[in-house]
């Protein structure tokens, strides 16, 4: 269990990091350096030698290594990002960059995504410095820029240009997992991520014959685009179960005393009730149209129309995703990736997963740990290029009524102080022995 000072520091660090506005609006519009310097100063005070690295001015990453007691053991990467998504102050009941601590809760953008985890890491390693603790295996700590956009200035840059800093790392933990999911029937479930869907953000372009809006036009780019977007939006993707999702369904079925029937997953999901939300977005590929651009005057038929689609695909199903998009867009609409990243799969029968499970259950013995696959993605995708298997493990014990997944990128993002204390305790226990 972490000491009292670590518990105080994790709350203070979370609050102070939130006050450092690191809003990432995309396109390079962000400056993580103040938060990076904040983290580096606290790592240095713990006796570590942090390295600050930038691909572009102000887009700062921090990396530090802690030597373990077993030089033959593989190293473990522990990573968290420093940037946050935008927040409109007028929509919040507290200012999103106040870091206010009120009624046992820390408020502000980044409270769960993911300055809380950054603060946990800092609090744990500083406690170790006070106590003279060393972990079993080397730990590489990485605080990254640009996760909320392309990761080109963050984990992607580190993996491409500074791979040597991660020498020996075979596994990693980062967002998002080991949080409390209340099923509405008195059960506390702690999902640990062991996979991510791949990201395929698409640009669709339809071309046709420009002309007057009053004339018949069988080569209308807007019509062609609208038809393709409709086909994509209405497409029923087939069921595809990755090993992680299969394990999640099996463990959830056992928890609820349901006969496992993976040949009828939709029926199983209905029987799981609210817990189905942990897996239902990851049993299929998906593609959701999100933006449309066309025309410049009401009575002019444009020669080109553009749409954007948020596509996600499961591990092992990217080829199917590509082939399906070729079919759905048809001969009159071209598509290309605007952003593309791989799907991930990590084993749930590995010793590290057992250690994560044990750490959570030590401090939440009433909880039920299950694996799950993230519907979105994290920096683990970038680090996978170095052969590092990633897990989502940023522990939080949340009271009933806190919808963790809704707080991500949501209004009035906040985290209970007690949840941060739990996170420090669990992270401390796990990192000592992993």
- Give first-to-last CA distance, the chain, whole Å: 15
Contacts of 34 (CB under 8 A, 6+ apart): 20, 22
Of the residues 83, 113, 118, 183, only one is catalytic, namely 83
Q: Which residues pair with 416 in a beta bridge?
A: 105
Question: d(Cα 334, Cα 205) in Å, to the nearest integer?
Answer: 5
CA–CA distances in Å: residue 327 to residues 118, 218, 311, 324: 43, 21, 15, 5
Reading the block at residue 136, the tokens are 């079993």
CB burial readout 38-54, b (16+ within 10 A) else e: bbbebbeebebebeebe
Question: d(Cα 323, Cα 416) in Å, to the nearest integer?
Answer: 45
* Active-site annotation holds for 362: no
Q: What is the 3-state secondary structure (H, E, C) of the chain?
A: CCCHHHHHHHHHHHHHHHHCCCECCCCCCCCCHHHHHHHHHHHHHCCCCCEEEECCCCCEEEEEEECCCCCCCCEEEEEEECCECCCCHHHCCCCCCCCCEECCEEECCCCCCCHHHHHHHHHHHHHHHHHCCCCCCCEEEEEECCCCCCCCCCHHHHHHHCHHHHCCEEEEEECCCCECEECCCCCEEEEEEEEECEEEEEEEEEECCCEECCCCCCCCHHHHHHHHHHHHHHCCCCCCCCHHHHHHHHHHHHHCCCCCCCCCHHHHHHHHHHHHHHCHHHCCCEEEEEEEEECCCCCEECCEEEEEEEEEECCCCHHHHHHHHHHHHCCCEEEEEEEEECCEECCCCCHHHHHHHHHHHHHCCCEEEEEEEECCCCCHHHHHHHCCEEEECCCECCCCCCCHHHHCCCCCCEEEHHHHHHHHHHHHHHHHHC
Of the residues 118, 138, 147, 148, only one is catalytic, namely 147
* Active-site annotation holds for 83: yes
Q: Just list the catalytic residues.
A: 83, 147
């Amino acid at each position: 269990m972490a000491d009292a000072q670590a518990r105080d520091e994790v709350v203070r660090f979370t609050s102070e990091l939130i006050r450092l506005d690191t809003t990432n609006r995309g396109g390079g519009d962000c400056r993580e350096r103040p938060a990076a310097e904040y983290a580096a100063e606290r790592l240095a005070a713990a006796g570590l030698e942090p390295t600050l690295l930038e691909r572009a001015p102000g887009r700062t990453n921090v990396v530090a290594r802690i030597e373990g007691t077993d030089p033959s053991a593989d190293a473990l990467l522990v990573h968290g990002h420093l940037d946050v998504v935008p927040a409109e102050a007028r929509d919040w009941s507290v200012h999103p960059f106040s870091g206010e601590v009120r009624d046992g809760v820390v408020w502000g953008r980044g409270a769960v995504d993911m300055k809380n985890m950054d603060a946990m890491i800092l609090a744990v390693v500083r406690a170790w410095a006070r106590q003279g603790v060393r972990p079993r295996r080397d730990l590489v700590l990485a605080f990254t820029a640009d996760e909320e956009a392309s990761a080109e200035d963050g984990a992607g840059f580190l993996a491409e240009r500074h791979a040597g800093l991660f020498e020996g790392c075979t596994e990693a933990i980062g967002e998002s997992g080991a949080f409390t999911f209340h099923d509405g029937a008195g059960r506390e479930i702690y999902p640990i991520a062991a996979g991510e869907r791949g990201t395929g953000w698409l640009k669709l372009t339809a071309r046709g014959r420009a002309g007057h809006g009053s004339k018949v036009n069988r080569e209308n780019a807007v019509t062609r685009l609208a038809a393709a977007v409709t086909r994509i939006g209405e497409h029923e993707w087939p069921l595809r179960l990755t090993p992680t999702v299969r394990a999640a369904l099996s463990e959830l079925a056992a928890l609820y005393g349901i006969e496992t029937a993976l040949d009828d997953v939709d029926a199983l999901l209905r029987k799981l009730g609210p817990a189905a939300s942990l897996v239902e977005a990851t049993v299929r590929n998906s593609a959701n149209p999100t933006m449309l651009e066309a025309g410049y005057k009401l009575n002019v038929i444009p020669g080109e129309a553009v749409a954007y689609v948020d596509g996600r695909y499961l591990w092992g199903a990217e080829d199917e995703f590509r082939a399906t998009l070729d079919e759905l867009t048809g001969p009159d609409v071209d598509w290309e990736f605007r952003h593309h990243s791989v799907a991930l799969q990590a084993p749930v029968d590995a010793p590290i997963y057992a250690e994560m499970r044990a750490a959570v259950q030590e401090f939440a013995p009433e909880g039920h740990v299950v694996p799950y696959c993230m519907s979105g993605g994290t920096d683990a995708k970038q680090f996978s290029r170095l052969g590092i298997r990633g897990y989502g493990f940023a522990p939080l014990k949340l009271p009933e009524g806190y919808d963790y997944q809704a707080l991500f990128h949501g209004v009035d993002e906040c985290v209970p102080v007690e949840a941060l204390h739990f996170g420090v305790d669990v992270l401390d226990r796990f990192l000592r022995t992993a």
